Chain A
Amino acid sequence: KAGVTQTPRYLIKTRGQQVTLSCSPISGHRSVSWYQQTPGQGLQFLFEYFSETQRNKGNFPGRFSGRQFSNSRSEMNVSTLELGDSALYLCASSPRLGNTQYFGPGTRLTVL
């Protein structure tokens, strides 16, 4: 089975722009979670989607949003980018809620 894939792998944006990141979960997995990883804050939970519905949300501002499609693929969007949004954004999928999560390789976002 193919693993979790994330596109693009690298992205450079400037302050004020917006960005959309994409995640394709493992086939058959219906839950997709997003995390932000930075050297200073570590791994922080952004939000989680299951069957196209946001089930959980971390403590991030409203500039961070996401959605899940009927095929379980997910996108996250960050609007009005700030320098502090530079991070590795990780997507993880699992078959259902409360189950093991499998991570993708991440998208490295750099905000200049």
Chain B
Amino acid sequence: QQQVKQSPQSLIVQKGGISIINCAYENTAFDYFPWYQQFPGKGPALLIAIRPDVSEKKEGRFTISFNKSAKQFSLHIMDSQPGDSATYFCAASINNDMRFGAGTRLTVKP
């Protein structure tokens, strides 16, 4: 059972553009929603995270928007750079039982 659905599967954006990745979850008990960035040959690295009592969180060029009633959250990468090219995973967890989305392969063209 896929508890976190992520889209799109792949995304190509021009340098300077906005990258948007969307996730939807099913279990309303999830209480922590992180985004991870993974480069080839590396483990996922935490990018930004949000808890359901907040609707938006911004850290630098990265913003999470959270819609509790729709059970959806999204990652926005402003001014996308070639160095942002990586696979991004959304996740939802309860007490460290973390369920991941399928991942989005982002390519930022120079």
Contacts and interface: CB of A to CB of B under 8 A. Distances in A.
B45 A101 contact: no
Contact of B96 (A42, A55, A103, A105): A55
A105 B42 contact: yes
Classify the secondary structure of B's interface with A. strand
Contacts of A106: 43
B46 A43 contact: no
A100 B102 contact: no
B34 A100 contact: yes
A4 B45 CA distance: 11
Contact of B31 (A42, A98, A100): A98
A98 B98 contact: no
A35 B44 CA distance: 11
Contact of A45 (B32, B34, B98): B98
B97 A45 contact: yes
Interface in B28-49: 31-32, 34, 36, 41-46, 49
Interface of A: 4, 31, 33, 35, 42-45, 48, 50, 55-56, 58, 90, 92, 94, 97-106
27 contacts: A4-B43, A33-B96, A35-B98, A35-B100, A42-B89, A42-B100, A42-B101, A42-B102, A42-B103, A43-B44, A43-B100, A43-B103, A44-B100, A45-B97, A45-B99, A48-B96, A48-B97, A55-B95, A97-B95, A97-B96, A98-B32, A98-B93, A100-B46, A102-B46, A103-B36, A103-B44, A105-B43
